Structure 1
Amino acid sequence: MTPTPESRSPVRGTRLGLALPQYGPLADPAAVARFATAAEDLGYESLWVGDRVLTPLAPSDLYPGGGTPEHPYPKEFETFADPFTTLATAAAVTRTARLGMSALTGPVYSPVLLARALTSLDLASGGRLDVGLGLGWLREEYVATGVPWAGRGKRLDAVLDALEEIWTGDPVAHEGPQWRIAPSTVGLRPAQTPRPPVLLGGFSPPALARIGRRADGWLAGWMPKEYLTGLWSVALETAERAGRDSGALRRVLRINPRAGTAVETVHDVPPCLDVARELGISEVLVDLHYVAKDVDHALELAGRLVTES
C-alpha cells in the first residue's frame, strides 16, 4: 500500500534522496513510475539508480562492501534493471526531484553514446540530472564490455574529457588514445548550462584528487567519520591547488541499511543522518534494497523514515 504523503520538506535540513526500485526483489520496472511519484510526494528530493552489468559465478574480485569467498557480492545484484530506462521512467512522472546515478561504471561506456543518453535524460527531466560516475570494482564487467581493466582510471579521465567536449564544444571533436571523434555537429544540448553536474565515486586519495580537480562533488559511501573527513580533505585541497572553488563541491552520502536490520524501523538510518549533519553533508541517499521485501514495503519504510528522522 502506498503511504499517504506527509511532507515535502527536507528532513531537518538534510536533502534526503532515495534509491529507485532497480535490483533484487525490488527490480520491477513496471513499478518505477508509482514508486517515484510516491517518493517525491513524501518529500524525497532526489531519486537514484546504480549500475551492474553482470554477476559472474566465480568473480575475480570481491564486493568491497563486505564480499566474502562464499558470498562474493550481495545476492540482490543477480537481478538488476537498466539504469537509463529506470531514470527515464522516473523523469516522466516527477516534477522537482533530482535524478542521479550512484554510480555508472564510467569506463565501460562509449562517451558518444553515453553523452547522447545523459543529454536526453537531462532534457526529459527539465534539467534535473546529476551524472554519477565511478570505476566500479568487478573486472569481469570490463571484459564482458570489451574494455581493458588496466588503466581504468585514465580511461575515466578520457570519458570525462570527451563528455565535456560533446556537451560544450561547437563543433565537437576529440582526439585521444581510446576514441577519435571527428569534428561533428551535435545539436542535442543539455538543459543545464553548461552541462549537468558530474559527481564521482571513489574511496582512495587518487579518486578524491580527481574529484577536486574536475568534478562537482563526491558520491561517498558510509564509513567511519575519520575516513569521511580525511578523504574529503584531499578533494578540498586538490580543488584549491587547481584554483577551483572548494566550497562549491558537493557530498552525497549513501546509506545502505544492513541486511538483517529490524526492517520495521530502519533504525540505523537516523543516527547516520545525524553524523551527516555533524560533518556538514547536506545530501543523503538511502538505499532500501537490502531490507525491503518488495516495492510496497520499500515505500512503507521510506514513509516511516521521513517521519522518524
Structure 2
Amino acid sequence: MLVGLALGNGGAHVDARDLVAEAVRAEAAGLDSVWVMDRWLRPHAAVDMPGVPVPVTLPAEAYSCVFDPIETLTFIAARTERVLLGTSAINALYHPPVLLARRLATLDQLSGGRVIAGLTSGWMAEEFAVAGVPRERTGVALDDHIAAMRAVWGPDPVAHSGAHYAIPTSDIGPKPLQDKGIPVVIGYTTPAGARRAARVGDGVHPYRNDFESLAGDIAVAAGKPVVLRTDVGGGILPGSAERWGESLARLAEMGVDHVLVALDDDNSVEALGAAVRALR
C-alpha cells in the first residue's frame, strides 16, 4: 500500500515556500506521494451541499485562498524526484476537457511521469456559475469529459464525439509520458457517483473517516484500485502517531491500494514517514 500526504494548499494564510518545503520533506521522509485539493471560491453566503438538508457556511480558513493544483504540483515537481503528484480532486467539469488534458499531460512530462489525476464532477452551484457551465452536467457528463481527455492522451489524430464534448480530428499534444496514460481516480459523494467511479475511473477515490463506509467503497470498486483520503483523528487514523501502524496495516488488509493522509497540527510529516517505514 502506498502512503501519501495531503498538502495544505488551501487556507487564508498559506505560505508558498512552506507548501513546497512540506512536499520536499514528505519525499525525504519516505512517503510515496503528495496531493493538493481544488476549490475555486468561497461564497460569503451559505451554500447547498450534497447530502446536507440545510445550507452550509463554508470554512473561511480552508477555502478562502487555494493555490491552483496543477501550477502547485508543477513547481513541486521541479523540487522533488520521486514522489507521485496527485490532485484530490480537480473539479473536472469546470474545465474544457482538451485544456485540462493538455495541462495534466504537460505536468506529467515535466515531472517524469509522476501524475495521478484525481477528478470529480464538482458540486457547488456558485462555482459552476463562475465557470460558465450548467450544474446539470454533473453525473453522466463526467463520463464524456473523461473519455474526451483520454482521447487527447491517445495517439494523433485525436477525435471525439460525445453527448457533451466534441473534438474535431486534430493533432493535440503533449501526450503524457506514462505509457498507459495518466491514471484517473474519481471522487464522489453519492452511491451513483461511487458506481460511476468504479465503472469509468482507473480507480475510486473515497474521502472517508470510518472503516464501515470504506468497506462499502471497496466492495463497489470491484477490484479496481482504492485511493483513500482520510484525516488524522477522524476515526481511521487516530490522533496519536504511535497508533498509526495498526490502522495502516488494517487498511492494507482491507484492500486499500493508496492512502493520502491529511495531518493535524499535532503531528508531523516525519512521524507519518516513521509509521510507514515501520509498517514495511
Partner SS for 2:256: coil
Partners of 2:274 and 2:228 lie apart in 1 by: 20
Q: CA deviation at 1:196?
A: 0.8
**Which residue does 2:204 correspond to in 1?**
218
Q: For each residue in 1:146-182, what CA deviation from the matched residue of structure 2 results, as whole angstroms up to 9, or x when unmatched?
A: 1111131122111101001111142111223433322
Q: CA deviation at 1:123?
A: 0.5
Q: CA RMSD in A?
A: 2.7
**Which residue does 1:48 correspond to in 2?**
35
Q: For each residue in 1:177-222, what CA deviation from the matched residue of structure 2 results, as whole angstroms up to 9, or x when unmatched?
A: 4333221112411101231111111143322222332211111112
**Which residue does 1:82 correspond to in 2?**
68
Q: Where do residues 237-248 of structure 1 align in structure 2 (5 Å cutoff)?
A: 246=223
Partners of 1:67 and 1:268 lie apart in 2 by: 35
> Contact (CA 8 Å) 1:63, 1:72: kept in 2 or not?
no
Normalised TM-score (structure 1): 0.79
1:204 aligns with 2:203: no
Partners of 2:275 and 2:49 lie apart in 1 by: 34
Partners of 2:167 and 2:254 lie apart in 1 by: 42
Q: CA deviation at 1:69?
A: 5.2
Q: Where do residues 146-185 of structure 1 align in structure 2 (5 Å cutoff)?
A: 146-185=132-171
Partner SS for 1:54: coil
Partner SS for 1:17: strand
Partners of 2:205 and 2:187 lie apart in 1 by: 5
Q: CA deviation at 1:308?
A: 4.8
1:278 aligned partner, one-letter code = E
1:23 aligns with 2:10: yes
Aligned counterpart in structure 2 of residue 277 of structure 1, from 242, 252, 277: 252
Partners of 2:63 and 2:154 lie apart in 1 by: 35
Task: Provide closer, same or farther for how the CA distance between residues 69 and 204 of structure 1 changes in structure 2, counting only shifts above 3 A.
Answer: closer
Q: Where do residues 1-309 of structure 1 align in structure 2 (5 Å cutoff)?
A: 14-24=1-11, 27-62=14-49, 71-73=57-59, 75-236=61-222, 246=223, 249-257=224-232, 265=240, 272-288=247-263, 291-292=264-265, 301-308=268-275
Normalised TM-score (structure 2): 0.87
Partners of 2:24 and 2:251 lie apart in 1 by: 26
Task: Provide closer, same or farther for how the CA distance between residues 159 and 304 of structure 1 changes in structure 2, counting only shifts above 3 A.
Answer: same
Q: How many residues align?
A: 273
> Contact (CA 8 Å) 1:88, 1:121: kept in 2 or not?
yes
Task: Provide closer, same or farther for how the CA distance between residues 70 and 159 of structure 1 changes in structure 2, counting only shifts above 3 A.
Answer: closer
Task: Provide closer, same or farther for how the CA distance between residues 278 and 112 of structure 1 changes in structure 2, counting only shifts above 3 A.
Answer: same
Partners of 1:122 and 1:67 lie apart in 2 by: 40
Partners of 1:33 and 1:127 lie apart in 2 by: 19
Partner SS for 2:135: coil
Q: Which structure ranks higher in relative contact order (CA pairs < 8 Å, sequence separation ≥ 6)?
A: 1
Partners of 1:100 and 1:78 lie apart in 2 by: 22
> Contact (CA 8 Å) 1:67, 1:73: kept in 2 or not?
no
Partner SS for 2:35: strand
- Identity across matched positions, percent: 34
Task: Provide closer, same or farther for how the CA distance between residues 160 and 275 of structure 1 changes in structure 2, counting only shifts above 3 A.
Answer: same
Q: CA deviation at 1:225?
A: 2.4
Q: For each residue in 1:31-55, what CA deviation from the matched residue of structure 2 results, as whole angstroms up to 9, or x when unmatched?
A: 3332222210101110101100001
Q: For each residue in 1:57-113, what CA deviation from the matched residue of structure 2 results, as whole angstroms up to 9, or x when unmatched?
A: 11332487x998574446321121111111001111111111101110111111111
> Contact (CA 8 Å) 1:126, 1:191: kept in 2 or not?
yes
Partners of 2:155 and 2:24 lie apart in 1 by: 36
Partner SS for 1:222: coil
**Which residue does 1:6 correspond to in 2?**
none
Task: Provide closer, same or farther for how the CA distance between residues 89 and 148 of structure 1 changes in structure 2, counting only shifts above 3 A.
Answer: same
Long gaps (5+) in structure 1: 1-13, 237-245
Deviates more, 1:20-29 or 1:128-137: 20-29
Partners of 1:139 and 1:102 lie apart in 2 by: 19
Partners of 2:124 and 2:56 lie apart in 1 by: 16
